[in-house]
Structure formats: C-alpha cells, structure tokens
Amino acid sequence: MTTRGRAGGGATLTADSIAEEFTSYYDRPILKPPVWRELHIGGYLYLGGLAGASSALAAGGELTGRPSLARATKLAALAGITLSLAALVADLGRPARFVNMLRVVKPSSPMNMGSWLLAAYAPLAGVSALTDLTGRFPLVGRAAGYGAAVLGPAVSTYTAVLIGDTAVPAWHQGHREMPFLFAGSAMATAAGAALIATPAAENAPARRAAVLGAALELAAGRLMRRRLGMVAEAYERGRPGTLTRAGELLSLAGALTALAAGRVSVGRVSGGSPTGRGRVRAGSLASLASPTSRPRASHAIPGHPGRGRALAVVSGAALMAASVCVRFGVFSAGVASSQDPRYTVVPQRARLSTPPS
Amino acid sequence: MTAPPAAGLPAVQEETGYPEHPPRMGFFTDTSLCIGCKACEVACKEWNRLPADAPFELTAMSFDNTGQLSGSTWRHVAFIEQRKPVRAPQAPGGRPSGDQGAGDLRWLMASDVCKHCTDAACLNVCPTGSLFRTEFGTVVVQEDVCNGCGYCVSACPYGVIDKREDDGRVFKCTLCYDRLGDGLVPACAKACPTESIQFGPVDELLERAEARLRSLHRDGVQDARLYGEDPEDGVRGNGAFFLLLDEPEVYGLPPAPMDPTRDLPSMWRHAAAAAAALVCGVAAAFLTARR
C-alpha cells in the first residue's frame, strides 16, 4: 500500500492532522450501511441478551429454591428468544430460506455459529419454561433449564462478535469491550424483568444482579468509547448519542432504585420471625446463600404491595429501558459510522502512518 | 500463512481446497487510461441482465450519475475533478505533450469493481455458504442459496456487495463466472476501448501493472501508485487491483482496508470472558443474597 509522502521525515501523523487533511469521493460513504432494519436487529440484540441472562438467573433461582424467580426468568427467556428469532427471520430478504443458516457449519461466520447456538438454546429454554408452567416432566425441565443456563451467557454475548466481525467502524473497533457491554446490559435487563415479575421475598438476587449488570454496562460502555478515539463520536452525536446518554441515565437510576428497594425489603424481611429453613434440595446453593430463611409457603404469597415492591418494579422498568437504549444506541451508532467516510478513512490513515510494531 | 513467492498474490484456490485449478484470474484496472466512457458499466449490465438503479436521478456532482457499486451495478465509473498542477508525461523531446498550463484542472476517471479479495470478508461471514470461492480464485454468490441475511454487506470493507431490496438477496460482480467457464473475457474488459480494464491471470497482470507504474514514474507522473496488489495488506491482496493517480479515498476507496474476520479469535476470546463475567455476576448475586 502506498503511504502519503507529505508528513516530512516520516513523522507519525496524529488523528487530528489526518482529519484535517481528510479527502473523500464527494463525501459519499465508502462502506454500505447495514441493510439490517433497526427494529429487527436492534431488537434482536436486546432480546437475545434478555433471554440468555434470564436463563442464568433461572438456574440460580432453581438451585437456591426460589421458584417464583425461576419461573419468571424462564418465561422471560422463552419470550425473549421467541421474539428474537422472529425478528431475525423477519429481517431476512428471503425468510423462507432461514434454514439455509444450518446447511453448513462455518466457524468463520459468527452468524452461522450463532444460528447453531440458538438452535440448541431455544428448545432448551422452551422446554424449561413449559415444563415449569405445566408441572409435567420436572426432571426433564430442570435438565433443560440447566442446559439453557450453560448456553444462555453465550447467547447474551455472541451478538457482540456478530456485529464486531464487520467493517462498520463503531462496531468493529469496539470488539474488545462490546461483549462486556452486552453482558452487563443482558444481566441488568434480565434482572430488571425478574424485579418486575417476582415477589419481593425472592428478588434479592435479582437486585444484586441488577446493580452488577448496570455497573458492568456503564463501565464497559465508557471504556469502549474512550478507546474508540474519533470513532466514539458516532456514539455521542445525534440519535445514537441521545440513546447512549438515555441508556446511561436509566441504568444509573435503575441501579440506585434497586439498591433502595433492597434497603426497604431487607428491613421488612429481617423484621420477620425466622421460622426455620425451608425445604432445600440436596446440593442446592441455598445452604450457602441463606443463613436465614422463610417458610416455603411464602412463595405462594403474591409480592408485598409495599414500597419495596413498587421500587423494584420501577427499578426493573428503568433497567430494561436502559438496556433497550444501549442496544439501539449501539445499532444506530454503527449505522452512523458507516455512513460517514471520515470514520472509515481517518482511523485507517492513522494505522498506515503508525510504523508496524 | 506462508509468505507467497516474491510479490505474487496467494494461490487462494489451493487454500480453499481445489487440488487442480486454472490460474487465479483477475482485473488490473489502469485508471490512467480510463476515459470515462462507461462502456464497462453498460456491458456489465447487458451481459448480466442487471436491473436499472431505479429511480434514475442526476447526482449533480459530476458526470457520475451511477454513484456507487450496488446490487445492480457491478462496475462503477468514478469522476473526480481536481484543481491540481498537472504534470503531464514528457514527450521524448522533453516538452509537455499537451497544453496544461492555464486551468490546472484535472479529471480522474476510474472504473471500480469487486476486489475479489484473497481474504474476502463477505465470503468469511456468509452464514449459509452461499458465497463461495471459484476455481479461478474469484468470489461468487450462489443466488439459489442466499437467504438475504445481509451480513456480507456490513462485512465488506469496500462497500461493494449490496442487497436488492425488491429481491431480498445480495448481488455483486462474479468476474463473469459464466464467461470464464467458456474461456471468454469478462464483459467489462471486453468492452473497454482503452484497455484501462485488463483481464488475465493475476501474476501476469501484476507484472504488467508494475511495468506500467515504472513507466509512469519515469515520465514524471509521481502520483501514480498501485492499489490492492499487496499480499501483505489487510485482505492479503485483491484479485482485482488498480493503478491510481491519487490517494485511494479520493476515488472512494478505503486507504487500508482489512478483513474484519482477522480479529475473530480475539473477538471470541473477549465474548467468552464476558460470558464468564456474566456467570460470575449471577453466581455472586445469588451467593450474597440473604433471605
């Protein structure tokens, strides 16, 4: 490749000086913007995260004897994966040819690997949720649930590889941090769904997962944008910028509300009289996790209509909205970065002018 | 990957698994010879029966009313008007061969096409195996397999392959795979009146390109450079390479394109670590939760 001769003495050009000398073909984009529709694929990124992390929470609920939490998260996983598959198929130019995704096994294609992953995960999530609802085949259901929990985290993060393996500057150049952003966002939104759907007595783990997820989401997003250099502008300007900022604020608000909900609930639960350990399955994590316990019958009691419950719902809604904003922000930032030739040329020029190390 | 023999392009067919194959075929597009007649665009449309780029509109920026390569335009002639001092080739007597003193306006014209990369991102990411490597080393879409997922569109670092929205599938230059099979020259190269578009085995084309570059440099055209011929670049070289008279981005070409799949191992590692972080986070949430 021919390099520019104008930076005298082989001096390294800074990104700023390159940006000043930027030239293009009538300002036309070099890349083709993604042909994926935002509602479908942005939604797919979000729903896949919701489903995968929900399966992980469901396994935790199962292992620690929190049946309401387990059921709510299993249903969230099934709903998430069903809708995300529908979005994926609807976005194809030839939806009837969806099964062509499974005519080869192709490790160089993240979408092919993802299709196989979903082909394994979706039935597990489905069996897990349906057996829980109907109460039939509990052993099969539990096995499927654990299987879904093993694959779920991969379902939540592989989408970062999916969009990272493109020429889209805002996606490809964030490929190191994007999986962590997606993991945090998935954890926060699954925890959010659990907070909305689970009685206060069982949602302590969801509150913690909400805070951890939101923290990871915020930290990974910040780190990614700092390392992106000038390409970070795609995440900060215009509509992607609005979505990114809204995502951060909602995340923060959701996490703080979850903490507040925890304080209220803890006060209430610890005020109750410990009436001995509930029935705990052998090998369950509950023995580690719960020094005190409540009677198992309390599972049947619907959530306390108190302040803690209301706060949990508000927190859950904020976290889910945050995750939606983050995923759609990432999607639209990618589109924006592919439409402006600057994001293609300036980083490539900077790479050319840096001597290979 | 072993280094290819002295400045040649990799024999990509062998890597793909063709035990016996014809030489790798490609294009050398010498833009210093292009007169902007668009015969290549028309011949390509005719031979490949490509639909019109509806709706027709004038770009009002130059004679380029095609705008870009697309699912229905597989050759695209770019027109660039520049205010630059023109250093014309010197006639043998040492005098300029034309009168370029006054305006200092120069026109660059270049016929762009699919690069048929050695490391083709579109081919690597295609989830159905619709895109494949031919025995000629070119990259072709099997239209009866493509399900229109559009992954290749975002993966191509040159913005070549595109989806026809009315059809749902993706389309791009096949380097006239059907004509090659019959020993014919691709339609665009056949129609080019100035031999700006040259077709042949890439090794031969590369020698011609390097000879042409030396002769242009000798004549004082210092801006001339080859583009896409380097097997060490981010896509290990193109089966269709170019001689340009300015920076690639002036023509709408990326200055240092890269196959994003190169980073795939790193991406999977980061995704695995992130999935592990998610598991640890959920486990921590349960282990620390009190009843």
User: Who among B124, B129, B255 is closest to A352 (CB)?
Assistant: B255
Give me the pLDDT at residue A11, please.
41
Give me the pLDDT at residue B105, please.
83
Give me the pLDDT at residue B290, please.
72
- Residue A30 in tokens: 């070099």
Confidence band of B57 (pLDDT split at 50, 70, 90): confident
Cis peptide before A356 (omega within 30 of 0): no
User: Who among A172, A208, A341 is closest to B285 (CB)?
Assistant: A208
| CB neighbours of residue A273 within 10 Å | 7
Q: How far is CA B64 from the centre of its chain?
A: 18
Confidence band of B12 (pLDDT split at 50, 70, 90): very high
> In A135-203, where does DSSP find H-type helix?
138-164, 169-172, 178-197
Confidence band of B85 (pLDDT split at 50, 70, 90): low
* A157 close contact with B: CB closer than 8 A: yes
Around A228, how many Cα atoms within 13 Å sit in the side-chain half-sphere? 28
* A297 close contact with B: CB closer than 8 A: no
Give me the pLDDT at residue A286, please.
38
The full length of chain A comes to: 357
The answer to whether A179 contacts B285, with C-beta atoms less than 8 Å apart, is no
Rounded CA gap, B35 and A264, in Å?
A: 77
Rounded CA gap, A178 and A190, in Å?
A: 18
User: Who among B150, B169, B290 is closest to A34 (CB)?
Assistant: B150
Rounded CA gap, A241 and A236, in Å?
A: 4
| CB neighbours of residue B168 within 10 Å | 17
The answer to whether B162 contacts A35, with C-beta atoms less than 8 Å apart, is yes
The answer to whether B168 contacts A93, with C-beta atoms less than 8 Å apart, is yes
Averaged pLDDT, B199-220: 97
The answer to whether B255 contacts A348, with C-beta atoms less than 8 Å apart, is yes
Tokens 């952003």, residue? A181
User: Who among A25, A109, A176 is closest to B127 (CB)?
Assistant: A109
CA distance A109 to chain B (A): 4
User: Who among B124, B225, B252 is closest to A28 (CB)?
Assistant: B252
Rounded CA gap, A73 and B285, in Å?
A: 15
* A183 close contact with B: CB closer than 8 A: yes
Averaged pLDDT, B220-235: 95
Rounded CA gap, B104 and B100, in Å?
A: 6
Tokens 């979850």, residue? A258
**Which residue on chain A is closest to B251 by alpha carbon?**
A25
The full length of chain B comes to: 291
User: How much is the pTM?
Assistant: 0.88
**Which residue on chain B is closest to A346 by alpha carbon?**
B255
DSSP helix/strand/coil, A354: coil
**Which residue on chain B is closest to A338 by alpha carbon?**
B154
pLDDT of B86 > 70? The answer is no
Give me the pLDDT at residue B6, please.
47
Give me the pLDDT at residue A264, please.
80
Give me the pLDDT at residue A22, please.
86
Geometric angle at alpha carbon B81, from B75 and B87, rounded to 5°: 110
DSSP letter assigned to residue A42: I
Give me the pLDDT at residue B260, please.
98
- Residue A57 in tokens: 């929470």
Strand intervals (E) in chain A = none
Beta bridge partners of B26: B200
CA distance B63 to chain A (A): 12
Provide the residue-wise pLDDT of chain A in tens; the chain has 357 residues: 333 333 333 344 566 666 667 899 999 999 999 999 999 999 999 999 999 999 999 999 999 999 999 999 999 999 999 999 999 999 999 999 999 999 999 999 999 999 999 999 999 999 999 999 999 999 999 999 999 999 999 999 999 999 999 999 999 999 999 999 999 999 999 999 999 999 989 999 999 999 999 999 999 999 999 999 999 999 999 999 999 999 999 999 999 999 999 888 655 444 333 333 333 343 333 333 343 444 443 443 344 457 888 999 999 999 999 999 999 999 999 999 999 999 999 999 999 988 665
- Environment class of B255 (CB within 10 Å of its CB; exposed 0-12, middle 13-18, buried 19+): buried
The answer to whether B274 contacts A183, with C-beta atoms less than 8 Å apart, is yes
**Which residue on chain B is closest to A272 by alpha carbon?**
B291
pLDDT digits (tens, 9 = 90+) for B111-124: 999 999 999 999 99
Rounded CA gap, A101 and A112, in Å?
A: 6
Query: Is the confidence metric ipTM above 0.95 for this complex?
Result: no
Give me the pLDDT at residue A84, please.
97
CA distance B95 to chain A (A): 27
How far is it between the farthest Cα atoms of chain A?
80
CB B9 within 8 A of CB B24: yes
Give me the pLDDT at residue B91, please.
55
Query: Which of chain B's residues have a Cβ under 8 Å away from the Cβ of A95?
Result: 147
User: Which residues, 6+ apart, have CB-to-CB distance to A329 below 8 Å?
Assistant: A235, A240, A243, A244, A246, A247
CA distance B39 to chain A (A): 21
Give me the pLDDT at residue B88, please.
58
